[in-house]
Amino acid sequence: MQIGMIGLGRMGGNMAQRLRDNGHEVIGYDHSPDRRDVASLPELVERLAAPRAVWVMVPAGEPTRATITELSGLLSEGDIVVDGGNSHYLDDRHHAEELGARGIGFVDVGVSGGVWGRENGYALMAGGEAEHIDRVRPIFDALKPTGDFGFVHAGGVGAGHYTKMVHNGIEYGMMQSFAEGYELLAASDIVHDVPGTFRSWKEGTVIRSWLLDLLVRALDDDADLSAIKGYAEDSGEGRWTVQAAVDHAVPLPVITAALYARFASRQEESQAMKVVAALRNQFGGHAVAKEDPAG
């Protein structure tokens, strides 16, 4: 089928390619002239045959909001917009209403797969009405992995991004689990082959997983990760997971600890621990490590 793709960066560009490889016609727009087929959203809409389908793959927040508002003025009743970016699930409701007021359908889709998706397929989680989802199902079928899994219609508007958010929260917890295990192995003087231990776990263990495979790849390149700094960004979805947990009064100790470990990894020094050191000094006369005045 024919689809307009807005945003042809690392994710959108690869997805457009996978769609074309599967016989779909993709007309792409990007703010960068190098990558795009059309120079503007009006031109994109003009090039698409009604009823149109447009996939928005731009950064979450203001860029997505602005794009959807512009599209709501350009598209017609019966057209459909898919937001495949990392939008917050509460934004989806507004977008669905804005578009719905003009008879335009809306589907939110969480997309997992990273740099491997173009080859292996992208796991897709969709939210919205069944009739809207059915309209773009050929696109979903082309993007998803070829097996029985990798696509779900998870629920109403927002459910696609909500489930993707939770997926990423689980991912945070799993990554930190491997990370803590690594540190505890590395701290032992009786374990001599840490990379070999992880490698051996690829088969027969309870913890075998794609993340373990990736960690083994990383350790194959750099056996003690000596070239990599212990510094981890967070992409926003971990934060949203914790905020959703607080909103729903769901205790999420593991996922939250994983998020906080990333926050801490980016601090040169903990303000909190200055307080602990100061208090120990006050009540116990414990020496404090002084900041180097020259530093």
Catalytic residues: 164
106 contacts 92 by C-beta, under 8 angstroms: yes
Which of 2, 267 has the CB closer to a second copy? 267
Give the distance between the most distant pair of CA atoms in the chain. 78
Residue 137 binds a second copy, judged by CB under 8 A: no
How far is the C-alpha of 36 from the C-alpha of 44, rounded, in Å?
10
Nearest residue to 64 via CA among 17, 12, 140, 101: 12
Residue 223 binds a second copy, judged by CB under 8 A: no
Residue 275 binds a second copy, judged by CB under 8 A: yes
Nearest residue to 153 via CA among 117, 121, 128, 122: 128
Q: Of 27-35, 48-56, 79-87, 218-226, which part binds a second copy (CB under 8 A)? A: 218-226
Nearest residue to 164 via CA among 258, 259, 62, 86: 86
Residue 162 binds a second copy, judged by CB under 8 A: yes
Q: Of 40-48, 49-57, 98-106, 235-243, which part binds a second copy (CB under 8 A)? A: 235-243
Residue 281 binds a second copy, judged by CB under 8 A: yes
Residue 1 binds a second copy, judged by CB under 8 A: no
Residue 156 binds a second copy, judged by CB under 8 A: yes
Tell me the closest approach of the beta carbon of residue 246 to a second copy, in angstroms. Answer: 5
In a 3-state reduction of DSSP, which class is residue 121?
A: coil
Tell me the closest approach of the beta carbon of residue 228 to a second copy, in angstroms. Answer: 5
Nearest residue to 76 via CA among 55, 108, 48: 48
Residues 168-187 that bind a second copy (CB under 8 A): 168-187
Residues 10-29 that bind a second copy (CB under 8 A): 10
Size of site (CB under 8 A) for a second copy: 140
Residue 214 binds a second copy, judged by CB under 8 A: yes
How far is the C-alpha of 197 from the C-alpha of 212, rounded, in Å?
11
Residue 32 binds a second copy, judged by CB under 8 A: no
Residue 87 DSSP class:
-
Q: What burial letters (b/e) apply to 96-105, b meaning 16+ CB within 10 Å?
A: bebbeeeebb
Residue 141 binds a second copy, judged by CB under 8 A: no
Residues 78-107 that bind a second copy (CB under 8 A): 89
